[in-house]
Amino acid sequence: MTGTVSAASGPSAAVEKGAAVTGLVPFGDAVSRYDPVIGLETHVELGTATKMFCGCPAVFGGDPNTHVCPVCLGLPGSLPVANRVAIEYTIRIGLALNCQIASWCRFARKNYFYPDMPKNFQISQYDEPLCVDGWLDVTIDDPGAEGGSRAIRVGIERVHLEEDTGKSLHVGGTTGRIHGADYSLVDYNRAGIPLVEIVTKPVDGTGELAPAAARAYVTELRDLLRSLEVSDVRMEEGSLRCDVNTSLSPRGSGVWGTRTETKNVNSLRSVERAVRHEIERQAAVLDSGERVVLQTRHFHEDTGTTTAGRGKEEAQDYRYFPEPDLLPIAPSSQWVDAIRAGLPELPAARRARLMGEWAVSAREFMDIRNAGAVDAVAATVAAGASAAEARKWWLNELVRRANEAGADVADLPISPAAVARVAELVKAGTLSDKLARQVIDGVLAGEGTPDEVVAARGLAVVSDEGALLTAVDAAIAANPDVAEKVRGGKIAAAGALVGAVMKATRGQADATRVRELILDRLRA
């Protein structure tokens, strides 16, 4: 213990170093006095057909221990053979992140014992990663900034290739961890799936936007990886996993503090919450004169808090050494050039293009993006709608419904083509906006395509003038005194007649047209 614990900040008897302080400093207060420095380590399971070093299928799930062989089970005598597609995917990621691609590098063994690691070493990369020294530009919402957003460039330290471990299920006990469990089950289906680790350089200077910056980086990275078609990047299935490093530097001191590494951060929202919590917690530790302990912490989705894992100060020595069972990776410049030439349009370029094509401001585009509707709007435009129509229906109507349903807008059971068809029907005057919303209800309820819903529910606008005139005449005849008032110049009174006509047509008439017809009739 290096400091005294103030009465206000926690118990006086410290149980363990740094653990004595349990309070939090309110976020605003914390960032007014400390500058957060963040760093992210992201693990991405590659979507190759087979595993990193054997021919087993690299797929999520499956009955336990059905996608295994002597190699990925680490049986005595088995040997790894590197998956060329995984190396290509890693280079693709490195190029998209503006990295240098090593012309020669090696795999290394990372040695430690854990039951879900078949060989008790992981084939990874150590001091010779495949890709180094790149960057990713990220836009953060910043209400205080001009245009409502701020751009930062996140440095990429390295991108390297390794193999995933198996999965342990700890049965019994209370913690769900290996300690205290009655017994553990291990599923090696995941063992050996190619895993890319992307490590950022430390990101400082984001101040109170640090949690948002962390989230924005992971979001941008996820979109990038998805566009590269190297992974399905599903955080909930663990194919994209984040460790978040956080440290605090007393404002203006320029001296970086000790960092913590928060594991198990498996949603975009959790990334933001984890950073925020660590800032609040570390500020309390520092305020009390304690020091932050270099350690691994676990994030808890339910409470939004972190708790200490094993201390890194007694960290294991991984005894890295070059993997003698594999040859060095030496991608030729021709191969790298071919991979570069095959890169798809990257999200940032695509966004710039779409902003131009849709004629929207950065702020408006940010709204579409934050709503998770960029792909949906683009697909709706591709299906024939105008950008304005597509934005209108997705942002005004479908985002609201997604929020009500607690779902992602992209996961709503309505296709961009269906939305484009609704927009087309409105434009043609077949549907009013009000009717269009009912059509969308029907599509979301599984009643079929927009045209099928229109037909089944009888929702088309009544535009037959003869039928409308009959209804108008009936309304005038039924309300002679109202008609008299209108004839006498009280135009406003026509509203009652319009209402009567709309009622008679079950709302399927165009109210504006009905009003015109009534006024024509009474003026004559």
* Binding positions for Zn ion, rule: CB under 5 A: 54, 56, 69, 71-72
Interface with another protein (CB under 8 A), residue from 63, 314, 317, 411: 317
Distance CA 69, CA 81 (A): 13
Considering the rule CB under 8 A, would residue 109 count as an interface residue with another protein?
Answer: yes
Q: Other CB atoms closer than 10 Å to residue 147's CB: what's the count?
A: 12
Token digits of residue 452: 């099928």
Which of another protein, Zn ion, none does residue 120 bind (CB under 5 to 8 Å by kind)?
another protein
Nearest distance in Å: CB 409, another protein: 44
Considering the rule CB under 8 A, would residue 273 count as an interface residue with another protein?
Answer: no
> Which residue number, 78 or 258, has a Cβ lying nearer to another protein?
78
Nearest distance in Å: CB 49, Zn ion: 13
Which of another protein, Zn ion, none does residue 79 bind (CB under 5 to 8 Å by kind)?
another protein
Token digits of residue 274: 């984890």
Considering the rule CB under 8 A, would residue 314 count as an interface residue with another protein?
Answer: no
Could you list the beta-strand ranges (E) of 380-518: none
Nearest distance in Å: CB 116, Zn ion: 15
Distance CA 40, CA 154 (A): 10
Considering the rule CB under 8 A, would residue 186 count as an interface residue with another protein?
Answer: yes
Residues 114 to 143 in contact with another protein, rule: CB under 8 A: 115, 118-121
Distance CA 486, CA 286 (A): 77
> Which residue number, 73 or 346, has a Cβ lying nearer to another protein?
73
Interface with another protein (CB under 8 A), residue from 184, 227, 305, 508: 184
Nearest distance in Å: CB 71, another protein: 8
Nearest distance in Å: CB 45, another protein: 22
Residues 143 to 162 in contact with another protein, rule: CB under 8 A: none
Considering the rule CB under 8 A, would residue 178 count as an interface residue with another protein?
Answer: yes
Which of another protein, Zn ion, none does residue 72 bind (CB under 5 to 8 Å by kind)?
Zn ion
Which of Zn ion, another protein, none does residue 78 bind (CB under 5 to 8 Å by kind)?
another protein
Nearest distance in Å: CB 188, another protein: 8
Do the strands 194-200 and 149-163 form a parallel or antiparallel pair, or are they unpaired? antiparallel
Residue 127: burial class (beta carbons within 10 Å; 0-12, 13-18, 19+): exposed
Nearest distance in Å: CB 81, another protein: 5
Distance CA 233, CA 447 (A): 32
Distance CA 150, CA 216 (A): 11
Considering the rule CB under 8 A, would residue 256 count as an interface residue with another protein?
Answer: no
- Angle (nearest 5°) at CA 180 between 316 and 300: 75
> Which residue number, 177 or 434, has a Cβ lying nearer to another protein?
177
- Angle (nearest 5°) at CA 255 between 252 and 256: 115
Phi and psi torsions of 157, nearest 5°: -70, -50
Distance CA 10, CA 400 (A): 44
Distance CA 86, CA 159 (A): 13
> Which residue number, 64 or 155, has a Cβ lying nearer to another protein?
64
Angle in degrees, 0-180, between the axes of helices 362-370 and 374-382, rounded to the nearest 10:
100
Count of residues in contact with another protein, rule CB under 8 A: 32
User: Could you tell me if 178 and 143 are in contact, meaning their C-beta atoms sit under 8 angstroms apart?
Assistant: no
> Which residue number, 79 or 349, has a Cβ lying nearer to another protein?
79
Considering the rule CB under 8 A, would residue 73 count as an interface residue with another protein?
Answer: yes
**Can you list the pairs that 498-501 forms with residues at least 24 positions away whose Cβ atoms lie under 8 Å?**
500/475, 501/468, 501/471, 501/472, 501/475
> Which residue number, 54 or 475, has a Cβ lying nearer to Zn ion?
54
Which of Zn ion, another protein, none does residue 134 bind (CB under 5 to 8 Å by kind)?
none
Residues 322 to 381 in contact with another protein, rule: CB under 8 A: 324-327
User: Could you tell me if 331 and 82 are in contact, meaning their C-beta atoms sit under 8 angstroms apart?
Assistant: no
Considering the rule CB under 8 A, would residue 458 count as an interface residue with another protein?
Answer: no
Which of another protein, Zn ion, none does residue 405 bind (CB under 5 to 8 Å by kind)?
none
Radius of gyration of the chain (CA): 30
- Angle (nearest 5°) at CA 368 between 364 and 374: 130
Interface with another protein (CB under 8 A), residue from 75, 349, 445, 455: 75
Nearest distance in Å: CB 374, another protein: 43
Residue 507: burial class (beta carbons within 10 Å; 0-12, 13-18, 19+): middle
Considering the rule CB under 8 A, would residue 77 count as an interface residue with another protein?
Answer: yes
Instruction: Note the residues at the interface with another protein (CB under 8 A).
Output: 70, 73-82, 109, 111, 113, 115, 118-121, 178-179, 183-184, 186, 317, 319-321, 324-327
